[in-house]
A = this chain, B = another copy of it.
Amino acid sequence: MANIKVGLLDFPKVSQQPVEIVERKGTGHPDTICDALGEELSIALSKLYREECGAIMHHNVDKALLIGGIAEPKFGGGSIISPIEIYLTGRAINEINGKRLPVEELAIETAHRWLKENIPNLDITNHIIIHPKLKPGSKDLVELFERFQLKGEIPLANDTSFGVGHAPFDDVETIVYEVERTLNSKEFKKDHPYVGEDIKVMGVRNGDNIRITIAMAFVDKYVKNVKDYLEKKEIISNYAYSIAQKLTDRHVDIFLNTADDPENESVYITVTGTSAEAGDDGQIGRGNRVNGLITPYRPMSLEAAAGKNPVSHIGKIYNTAATDMAERIVAEIEEVEEVYVYLVSQIGKPITEPQVCDVKLRLNTDVKGIEEEVRKIAQEEIDNLPDTWQKFLERKFRLY
């Protein structure tokens, strides 16, 4: 039995505190691109290793650097002057039983595939250079990994670290998340091809006033001129407002591309739909947490989940597990209004034996009645940790 503590949240709800800040960096934000490429590479490596030897071998590709290009967007379609460059870094076993594995090619092909699918206005052949910089990693780690993966034993925590999650989202969190997800959905883009993928949404609540500030890259070839831009901007603002106001009773204001200076034709258009084309750099782990948001008024882990191996890396699997656990508890136990979950590992111990699993509840009832239920869900989630890797391979978590 894991060391599960069940207690109560002993402070007012964030949504009732005077100020709240929530942010989401959308699909085409340079940091999100880095997260996505790191995670996709981890998935691709995991599948490759499983094909080659039946197990996920050691890898950790959680460092990446995107160096912005130089672009000259213009109404009707501009051009790229210098390409974007992305360095994909980390450790990955590149040889099994004397057979050399194509880990660098995998990195390149995986990155291109994701970019083609997700940033469709980016010419993946000519406008971006992928630099795979993978090294085999230290032998000790590799051996440890083989031992547990191939023998089916429970993986050992790679570190003393922790994960954290909460549920449910409050109104500002939901708005920020949904606005980006909707504007970046394939359905919406069908009718609004001028909407680029680089959409950053910041929600700041002051008392009962919610300001939603959106920075959204337009795709230049779908915009004729400043007038057309301003009309389309109006459409998007209104649409975002319609999403937001359904999700809260509070007053909402939408601010879209506030730095625009239309009189000087200085507006936020791009060739590719991402600011990465022109100067904005990115890294893994600097964007959204595993629940898809940045929430400074909630507990957060600094760990980058993207790119880490899904078998034993606490910084990855404890964060998603804590989030999953919180969501299940809220979903399955009616009396629970809100949950925070902290999971703390012990380096070298099985991942199913955390130092502590700290569950804090906000209830509309007494804790006694439901403690057992909570504990049961927590234990189930912990017991399932050795199989979590499957969910990563099936992309069942938001992760970024």
Q: Which of B82, B105, B202, B261 contacts A79 (CB 8 A)?
A: B105
Q: At the interface, yes or no: A127 with Cβ under 8 Å from chain B?
A: yes
Contact between chains at A164 and B296 (CB < 8 Å): yes
Q: Which of B140, B161, B278 contacts A266 (CB 8 A)?
A: B140
Q: Closest approach, in angstroms, between the C-beta of A198 and any C-beta of chain B?
A: 14
Give A6-27 interface residues, CB cut-off 8 Å to B: 7, 10-12, 18-19, 21
Give complex CA distance A109, B127 in Å.
Answer: 9
Q: Which of B65, B102, B296 contacts A162 (CB 8 A)?
A: B296
Q: Which chain B positions have C-beta within 8 A of A258? A: 347-348
Q: Which of B278, B279, B283, B347 contacts A65 (CB 8 A)?
A: B283
Contact between chains at A81 and B105 (CB < 8 Å): yes
Give complex CA distance A355, B213 in Å.
Answer: 14
Q: A10 with B12: in contact, given A162-B21, A285-B283 (CB under 8 Å)?
A: yes
Contact between chains at A104 and B81 (CB < 8 Å): yes
Q: How many residues of A contact B (CB 8 A)?
A: 80
Q: At the interface, yes or no: A87 with Cβ under 8 Å from chain B?
A: yes
Q: Which chain B positions have C-beta within 8 A of A12? A: 10
Task: Choose, from A179-187, A298-306, A374-382, the stretch at the interface.
Answer: A298-306
Q: Which chain B positions have C-beta within 8 A of A19? A: 5, 342, 344, 355-356, 358
Q: At the interface, yes or no: A206 with Cβ under 8 Å from chain B?
A: yes
Q: Closest approach, in angstroms, between the C-beta of A17 and any C-beta of chain B?
A: 9
Task: Choose, from A66-74, A188-196, A227-235, A388-396, the stretch at the interface.
Answer: A66-74
Q: Which of B102, B127, B302, B355 contacts A204 (CB 8 A)?
A: B355
Contact surface of A with B, Cβ cutoff 8 Å: 5, 7, 10-12, 18-19, 21, 63-65, 67-68, 70, 72, 79-83, 85, 87, 89-91, 100-102, 104-105, 108-109, 112, 124-127, 129-131, 133, 135, 137-138, 140, 160-162, 164, 202, 204, 206, 213, 258-259, 261, 266, 278-279, 281-286, 294, 296-297, 299-302, 304, 342, 344, 347-348, 355-356, 358
5 new A-B contacts, CB < 8 A, other than A162-B296, A206-B356, are A67-B87, A72-B100, A80-B102, A161-B202, A283-B285
